[in-house]
Amino acid sequence: MTRPEAKGSRTRARLARQVAAIVLAIGVWHLFAIGPGRAADVPTPGATLRTGLEMARTADYWTAIGNTLLTANLGLLLSVVVGVPLGLFNGASRKVALSSQFVVDFGRTIPGVAILPLVLLLFGGTRVMALILVMFGAVWPMLVQATYAVQQVPPQLRQVGEAFHLTLRDRIRTVYLPSAMPFLTTGLRIAATISLLLAISAEFLGGTDGIGRNLFNALTVNNPDEMFVYAFTASLLGVALNLVLLAAQRRILWWHPSQRERG
Amino acid sequence: MNETDDRTAANSTVLEVTGLGHSYGKHTVLQGLDFTVAKGEFLCIVGPSGAGKTTLLQCLTGLRKPTEGLVVFEGEAVRDTPRGMAVVFQDYSRSLMPWLRVIDNVALPLRSAGVPKGERLDQARAALAEVGLADSTHAYPWQLSGGMQQRVAIARALAFRPHAIVMDEPFASVDAQTRADLEDLVIRLKERLGITVVLVTHDIDEAVYLADTVLVLSGKPASVAALIPVDLPAPRDQLATKALPAFAELRSRVYTLIRTPAAAAAEPPADESEVAPVSAGAGA
């Protein structure tokens, strides 16, 4: 009966340390803003918060967030729809995997932003352009992880399926899909971060609607307070997205050794 | 005496292996294996690590197509795993689905076989009770100890109601006490259900303790060095049986065969009885 209490106090101590780190960071920021950052009009944490609260009352702010999330998540969805089947196919055959390895390795190392001028030229500052850019970055981790997922089905489980004459349906449902899940959720988390990053890049550099474009507008009219708010908004979106996906992963992979210990 | 009667009276062969050989590319692992297993017999295949035991077992179960020879189970050539045969794999932690409860793991093959839900759960529960896991049906495999997980794997094989169970080093990764318990469990199940058991092991003591017949696999490529009938009294007992002079004699004979197959084959041990329905394969 002492264990849960001990665990609780340990969690509380950890939380306290994390809060202390945040407070410290804000303190450093404040000192920087009133000191060396003053010449560059770096806003203080307080000023940023005030601007943020004001902006949160405008429809423009929320529309921008909505647009960014729409672009990022739609692009992510397309990446899953395209990347997973391709990856599964790729992983199912050794020959295919070996043949495609160079193309895949080459494609995934091209930074998404590098093809921005090309898609911008082809599609202009439209959502289609942004979606293609997002897909270009996010499809690779899905494809690669789906390839691993097929290749890494434990051979013993395959043999169990064979020896006990599991039907194809039962094999997919109880052998292949569950053992592929750890890889697919990993791919999804990597792809989600990339999607958000590239959606904001497309907005910032390509002018598609979203917080990236608002950030760029704030830059052109030299409004550092608003720039800071949008930058924070972007990072909070990233954190929120990651938390949602982590929670989803925990629910999907409750049986996996990496999740079990956390009880 | 019961055993002897079974074997001589029922000369019904369950498994027949003829001229079995297997090569991985140019590397020949198994060569010229001939042996038969009678109904209700407990055959232990023993050999050193890397002797091709697992390859042999995969050929017997149809999980691997041998490059030479023929395996016949219940009168039919084995292509994929025969319906009357169930397999217990070596690594229980990787042969059970961690995302399925114990009972669903056991019932899964039955679901694929089209057994209605209520019936297959009853069958699974019965099989779990048989291996002493009636209370753990709703646990997940990883919540159980290694020995209990292997019991689940055995229950999964039993629920299939096989005529023969083939086991690949099933007790290699559990502690000594658990291992002894599992050995006795398998002997008991075999007696109660009248099934044929083929068990692969590298442990000579285990082979002699469990088997009606020990098949010694030796040489490179591996072939049948000897088929040794084990005439230890039933029921076997971990202490009493292993203390018998006959037990010590058998284990040293197997040991010698594994170490020096050529020498042993030069002076074949006098077959003191007709009990083994087998012919020694092409030794070195």
The stretch A249-259 carries a mean pLDDT of: 84
Residues of chain A contacting B84 with CB distance shorter than 8 Å: none
List pLDDT tens digits, range B90-132. Answer: 888 888 999 999 999 999 999 998 889 999 999 999 999 988 8
Task: Report which of residues B74 and B267 the model is more confident about.
Answer: B74
| pLDDT > 90: percent of chain B | 27
| Residue type at position A150 | V
**A159 contacts B87? CB cut-off 8 A:** yes
Q: Is the pLDDT of residue B203 over 70?
A: yes
pLDDT of residue B261: 55
Do the chains contact at A160 and B140, CB–CB below 8 Å? no
Q: Which pLDDT does position B59 carry in this prediction?
A: 93
Long-range contacts of B55-61 (CB under 8 A, 24+ apart): B55/B22, B55/B29, B55/B30, B56/B20, B56/B22, B56/B30, B56/B200, B56/B217, B56/B222, B57/B166, B57/B168, B57/B198, B57/B200, B59/B20, B59/B22, B59/B30, B60/B15, B60/B17, B60/B166, B60/B198, B61/A163, B61/B85, B61/B87, B61/B166
* Contact by Cβ (8 Å): A18, A10: no
pLDDT score, position A217: 93
pLDDT of the residue at B3: 46
Question: What per-residue confidence (pLDDT) applies to B273?
Answer: 42
Flag if B91 and A156 touch (Cβ within 8 Å).
yes
Q: Is A165 at the interface with chain B, CB within 8 A?
A: yes
pLDDT at B199: 93
**B159, containing H or E segment:** helix B146-159
Chain A residues close to B63, C-beta within 8 Å:
159, 162-163
Of B8-12, B64-68, B184-188, which gets the smallest average pLDDT? B8-12
Q: Which residue has the tokens 């092409």?
A: B282
| Chain A residues with beta carbon closer than 8 angstroms to that of B111 | 170
CA B95 to chain A, closest CA, distance in angstroms equals 5
Pick A160's closest partner by Cβ from B83, B89, B98. Answer: B89
Contact A174 B63 (CB under 8 A): no
- The more confident residue out of A240 and A2 is A240
Question: What is the percentage of chain A residues whose pLDDT exceeds 90?
Answer: 51
User: CA–CA separation, A200 vs A207, rounded Å?
Assistant: 10
B175 contact partners, CB below 8 Å, separation of at least 6: B146, B147
The better pLDDT of the pair B239, B19 is held by B19
Residue B255 touches chain A, beta carbons under 8 Å: no
Spatial CB neighbours of A124, under 8 Å, sequence gap ≥ 6: none
Phi and psi torsions of B19, nearest 5°: 55, 35
Bridge partners of B46?
B201, B216
Domain spanning A43-262, CATH class = mainly alpha
Mean pLDDT check: name the lowest of A221-225, B43-47, B120-124, B216-220.
Answer: B216-220
- The Cα B61–Cα B201 span in angstroms is 16
With CB atoms and an 8 Å threshold, state whether B81 touches A165.
yes
Q: Are B181 and B133 in contact (CB under 8 A)?
A: no
Yes or no, beta carbons of A174 and B94 under 8 Å apart: no
Per-residue confidence band for A195, with pLDDT thresholds at 50, 70 and 90: very high
Rounded to a whole number of angstroms, the distance from the CA of B91 to the nearest CA of chain A is 8
Whether residue A74 lies within 8 A of chain B, CB to CB, comes out as no
Residues 132-161 of chain B whose Cβ lies under 8 A from any Cβ of chain A: 140, 142, 156, 160
Is the CB of A178 inside 8 Å of chain B's CB atoms? yes
Mutate to test the interface with B, among A153, A157, A160, A250 (most CBs of B within 10 A): A160
Tokens of B115: 């057994």
- ipTM (interface pTM): 0.79
Written as one letter, the residue type at B115 is V
Question: Taking 90 as the threshold, does the pLDDT of residue A138 lie above it?
Answer: yes
Report chain A's mean pLDDT, rounded to a whole number.
89
Name the residue with higher pLDDT: B269 or B105. Answer: B105
* Cα B112 from Cα A168, distance rounded (Å): 9
Strand partners of residue B278: none
User: Is A160–B100 a contact, with Cβ atoms under 8 angstroms apart?
Assistant: no
Q: What is the pLDDT of residue B283?
A: 38
pLDDT of A5 reads 65
Average pLDDT value for residue range B39-61: 89
> Is the pLDDT assigned to residue B166 strictly greater than 80?
yes
Taking the Cβ of residue A57 and every Cβ of chain B, the question of whether any pair is shorter than 8 Å is answered with: no
Asked if the peptide bond before residue A85 counts as cis, ω within 30 degrees of 0, the response is: no
Ranked by mean pLDDT, the top range of A72-76, A158-162, A255-259 is: A72-76
Considering just the CA atoms, what is the radius of gyration of chain A in Å?
A: 23
pLDDT in tens, A27-66: 999 999 888 888 888 899 999 999 999 999 999 999 999 9
Per-residue pLDDT for A112 more than 90? Answer: no
A140: distance to nearest CA of chain B, Å? 28
pLDDT at residue A165 tops 60: yes
Question: What is the residue whose two structure tokens read 């009853």?
Answer: B122
| Strand B213-218 relative to strand B42-46, pairing | parallel
Q: Can you give the pLDDT at residue B278?
A: 41
**Residues A21-32: pLDDT tens digits?**
999 999 999 999
What does the alpha-carbon distance between residue A139 and residue A107 come to, in Å, rounded to a whole number? 10
- What are the residues facing B227 on neighbouring strands? B215
Q: Tell me the C-alpha distance between B112 and A174, whole Å.
A: 11
A-B C-beta contacts closer than 8 Å: 58
pLDDT the model gives residue A3:
59
Q: In chain A, what are the domain boundaries? A: 1-42, 43-262
**B94 inside 8 A of chain A by CB:** yes
Q: What is the pLDDT of residue A261?
A: 59
Rounded alpha-carbon distances, angstroms, from residue A111 to A107, A120, A134, B69, B75: 9, 15, 11, 56, 63
Q: Is 70 exceeded by the pLDDT of residue B150?
A: yes
State mean pLDDT over A85-90. 88
Burial B139-148 (b: 16+ CB within 10 A, else e): ebbeebebbb
Give the residue-averaged pLDDT of B25-34. Answer: 88
Yes or no, beta carbons of A170 and B112 under 8 Å apart: yes
Token pair 């590298």: residue:
B202
Residues ≥6 apart with Cβ < 8 Å to B245: none
Is the full-model pTM beyond 0.80? no
The answer to whether residues A210 and A67 touch, using CB atoms and an 8 Å cutoff, is yes
CA distance A236 to A231: 9
Is residue B83 within 8 angstroms of chain A, CB to CB?
Answer: yes
